Structure 1
């Protein structure tokens, strides 16, 4: 069996460094033609936009080693048919993948991939070596250069195409990563990705294919990477299979853990075979954006439209929006019980090859502006000026607002507004009925008799939980009097909780990641409209099949519970009326 290398070239975890904390911040843009007709012009526009995002990317000590650049386009059938020595089926009836093969053992890796494809009841059409120019690379990127080849595969059933074929080849690229150590930048019947550890100017020079006159597409997503406090990598350059992203996902660690926990419950009638062969869904060596892309891929191929999947993982702020339509509110509340948000700041461009769009997370701390011309060209970017458009031809311009979505449907040849999109999604199922059948709010639980603590018992618990007289005098008492946090600027000479010899409160053991500290400060009081402290507890359900079981949970108003709250929770099923909230007490003594 081939040794599976990590997806990135990050150093090993050592000291205070852990590659699991990798994030990046970048420039992103897309160009599309609403007519849906592939053309060389759109590819050129996308590459021009990428070149104008050069200042958003970064280089190392060597100017020839970039942090990353890439482009995602529709499968260029005419170009591919002219560049391979074997016959290709009709467009959409075959999948093509950009494989990053290990240069030291490519033949073994290719054979493993072919065997995987055959075991998935697919027919291998062949391989094509991607012509590249490694001589333009700096030492840093050249030393990690993979062997790039296009992999072609189809179904023996000639009627299988498009999304249905993508569901079949999904297992191929997941298993190729797990079993052969091969990263597929893309493997799809609809899209193709060219990317690498390059600068924006190097991308079209490094890949001969991108300069070919036959290279045509009706859409293109481009990305210039700035690896903030991270290490660049060939596989972790953007775009990924469905998205490109500006910002960072600061909740990625928890999101990955929850995704791992849900895997045992995953079942699907449209994704063939035992899904356990696809696990883990989130590659532990991937970046925050890579994990987001992997989850979106699962949700989309598992039955949701791509905009639906995006709205599930990057939801709008809805809890405190008093103007929200009841149907939309029920949909949003149901989604909150299915999956926790992947919070940014984040501006995400996405496409499945038929539609293309962008969204901002609910905080709205990353820009995304768009322009539409009178000939149907749509441009969206993280800043103005990525394309030199004649102002006289622009019929609409604007920006994507926090929690909103902007979508161009190339099959219907129109822009789909956020309101229309969310109205469609919220009407797919009777979400309010599902919530009424099983969703429980904490306020609805029975209230026990109040327990009055003595002064001695309160003092004893304060000592056990590490309270100090200074905290009582300087922090707790002013808060009790004024209802607000006490303001102070004194330093601290106490050891960090993990190294201290005295008991400390649990929350003293938690610190922010670097990327969280450097982002604009937000809190639930000053940013009430876009933040929520609501949490849910209860059994998880199958993520791929939304149903009333998905929302049989208990909603807590705060993630921290006091003794009275725990007493209410213990009484929830005292009379057998709420068996889904059966509780057990576990001793915390050691």
Structure 2
């Protein structure tokens, strides 16, 4: 049996920094030796490529042949662009690219065409072969801004044309194709030219899983290559959008990580070490073991960006004279460091380097370990992880991004007593201060809420089990009831959503044995700046995205009795959190009631609520609270709070702000009685809620009279969130995004949620009219 998976990764750098043919040859040979890790269909590979130094000797001769000064290749203003251009409109695209370059004051010194051999490709690759276009460029103006200007040109080219930027740099060039590694030199005449020399190269041989193979999606990209899967790519894309970072057009997960890395370094001016640690931060428990300065720097860095590139991956990245390598936090994709007398080698497997060349014992990078190579006047110098982290801390401190005592946020938990700004409902215990007939009225009222908000007997049975044991009940794998679109019973929006698992080479993580890596920690409130700009911004962290409190005054639940539990669990009461971040006055929290006038179209109501959120946050509000307690009034109709959360979240991302977008300026919280179970909670988090308050579910626990019921329920939900993450190859809930799809929702409803839908169309499925009728019926039941 020919078993293939996981992609191949090879990086080689000469210690003396000398540019040679051997570096390229050995990199390609290494990829050939690791062909068992790559994909192949009918003898055609999924894709292979290399990133190298700019071959300056080759370009010098090309300039000389064109009667241009060959010494320009040594100038700091010299750059090389490699582009793929669709063959059907190459002339129009090339004309537009030339206009963009001229507008940015970048001069084209020389254009090269026809430097490929079509016959070297297989039939599938030939069918999708783009034009390979090479440009020698001179960046006019200050050299210190050249990298940023080239980056902006590349982003504009991909936005305005159908061309794909393969590489656009003053230091590196990328060559890649749909095929096997051994075809690289046969296809690209540059690579076969004896004048092609490089001091460092890294290569990738692809095994395509989630995306179809094409020239554009082959790795390496302009700065980055990895083998594995970014399971949190939905959340990474949202985070990039909230920062205003340009991503690739129809990019794969790897392409968008590459685009994010380059945007942080070349667009925002971060050092490559900073950008790498922001993209692939250490786990919380590792931060706890650092010295105080490291804790301060990484605590703020994790809040400024976060663990949004989770999943099995070994990676190599190069920007300028820094090459950085690493392994995912779980260590699910190996990367070996092999040292010889002449070179440093990083590779998925070490066997292609003969044993007699080893100068030290080969060593696999540990889970979450990062290392690097830096080109100096003496050659490529190895940087171990302590060196990288020390430089990261120094860089962040210089930016003002590592103030002392940020590490105190590692210890999460709300106040022991209510603040003056917090609302203070009656501090009464039900069993002491409520008359028997009032207790009966409360029980009847709660049953009405259960019925109106979609609770089924199974939901209450599961809740009772969790309240008793602190664990989820063990049952069948997955949901085995009728689909919501076909069921006769009342269905909440979450019932139409099912978990989506897209990857075949990506196993679930063993939560029981890898528990140190798992985290349900979330960041609440204004996010700190990634580059230290702007005023200091307060934020809070919760160990679990579940808020206590949120009960109506008539429930007679004493909030003071809940604060010790919230503090012990590392969370807050929703009332205390709103008071802490929102306070009173002009910047008080904005409350979005998930209801509408019965004559108002649900779409208009969602637009109104989303606009209210963006207007309030632009005015300085730091908390947006969505809740469903206002639907008892006559003439009001219920809106599923998940729709409101999704609409507000996406509207806030779309509105620019000094720190990126309005979404980074606030906390988005959900307090809802319709959160019936773990699935509902996780869907709300995936749709954009920072934390949720399932107050009716918590009231069910309090009504038992068992002092352990609510702590057990809270613990069972926390474990459940970790298990959901583990099934998708994630270990931190902050990376969880829209990892679900709809069945039976019309496309316009699914579009508000930002998910794909199946089994429905514009005319078939649950749409706005059905949701409007359902919302009015539920409101009637609650009155």
Judge same fold: TM > 0.5, yes or no.
yes
**Are residues 438 and 363 of structure 1, via their aligned partners in 2, closer, same or farther at CA, if it must alter by over 3 Å?**
closer
1:82 aligned to which of 57, 61, 72: 61
Q: CA deviation at 1:69?
A: 0.5
| Counterpart in the other structure of 1:148 | 132
| Counterpart in the other structure of 1:331 | 297
Is the CA contact (8 Å cut-off) linking 1:435 and 1:548 kept in structure 2?
no
| Counterpart in the other structure of 1:394 | 359
| Counterpart in the other structure of 1:69 | 48
Higher normalized contact order (CA 8 Å, seq sep 6+, divided by chain length): 1
| SS of 2:281 mapped into structure 1 | coil
| Counterpart in the other structure of 2:110 | 126
1:567 is the counterpart of 2:575: yes
Listed as ranges, the matches of 1:163-562 within 5 Å are: 164-263=145-244, 281-301=246-266, 302-319=268-285, 322-341=288-307, 342-375=309-342, 377-385=343-351, 387-391=352-356, 393-411=358-376, 413-428=380-395, 429=397, 430-433=400-403, 442-444=413-415, 447=418, 454-473=442-461, 475-489=462-476, 492-497=479-484, 500-504=487-491, 508=495, 510-515=497-502, 519-522=506-509, 526-540=513-527, 543=530, 545-547=531-533, 549=535, 551-562=537-548
Structure 1 residues 70-95: Cα deviation after superposition (integer angstroms, max 9, x where no partner): 00001110012123424341424311
- Report the Cα distance in structure 2 between the residues aligned to 1:351 and 1:109, rounded to whole angstroms: 28
| Counterpart in the other structure of 1:276 | none
- Report the Cα distance in structure 1 between the residues aligned to 2:61 and 2:40, rounded to whole angstroms: 35
Q: Higher mean Cα deviation, 49-58 or 239-248?
A: 49-58
- Report the Cα distance in structure 1 between the residues aligned to 2:341 and 2:31, rounded to whole angstroms: 23
Q: Which 5+ residue runs of structure 2 have no aligned equivalent?
A: 419-423, 431-441, 551-572, 589-619, 629-637, 640-783
Is the CA contact (8 Å cut-off) linking 1:524 and 1:533 kept in structure 2?
no
Larger Rg: 2
| SS of 1:521 mapped into structure 2 | coil
Structure 1 residues 257-301: Cα deviation after superposition (integer angstroms, max 9, x where no partner): 2211221xxxxxxxxxxxxxxxx6013401011011011001111
**Are residues 182 and 443 of structure 1, via their aligned partners in 2, closer, same or farther at CA, if it must alter by over 3 Å?**
same
Is the CA contact (8 Å cut-off) linking 1:133 and 1:206 kept in structure 2?
yes
Structure 1 residues 51-74: Cα deviation after superposition (integer angstroms, max 9, x where no partner): 1121111122x32x3211000001
Structure 1 residues 304-341: Cα deviation after superposition (integer angstroms, max 9, x where no partner): 22122111011111346542222111111101111132
Structure 1 residues 188-213: Cα deviation after superposition (integer angstroms, max 9, x where no partner): 01000000211222222111211211
- Report the Cα distance in structure 2 between the residues aligned to 1:248 and 1:550, rounded to whole angstroms: 35
**Are residues 434 and 145 of structure 1, via their aligned partners in 2, closer, same or farther at CA, if it must alter by over 3 Å?**
farther
Say which structure is richer in helix.
Answer: 2
- Report the Cα distance in structure 2 between the residues aligned to 1:221 and 1:554, rounded to whole angstroms: 41
TM-score norm. by structure 2 comes to: 0.64
Listed as ranges, the matches of 1:23-62 within 5 Å are: 25-60=6-41, 62=42
TM-score norm. by structure 1 comes to: 0.84
| SS of 2:201 mapped into structure 1 | strand
**Are residues 290 and 490 of structure 1, via their aligned partners in 2, closer, same or farther at CA, if it must alter by over 3 Å?**
closer
Q: Which 5+ residue runs of structure 1 have no aligned equivalent?
A: 1-23, 264-279
**Are residues 507 and 552 of structure 1, via their aligned partners in 2, closer, same or farther at CA, if it must alter by over 3 Å?**
farther
- Report the Cα distance in structure 1 between the residues aligned to 2:407 and 2:341, rounded to whole angstroms: 49
Is the CA contact (8 Å cut-off) linking 1:337 and 1:551 kept in structure 2?
no
**Are residues 481 and 135 of structure 1, via their aligned partners in 2, closer, same or farther at CA, if it must alter by over 3 Å?**
same
Q: CA deviation at 1:153?
A: 1.3
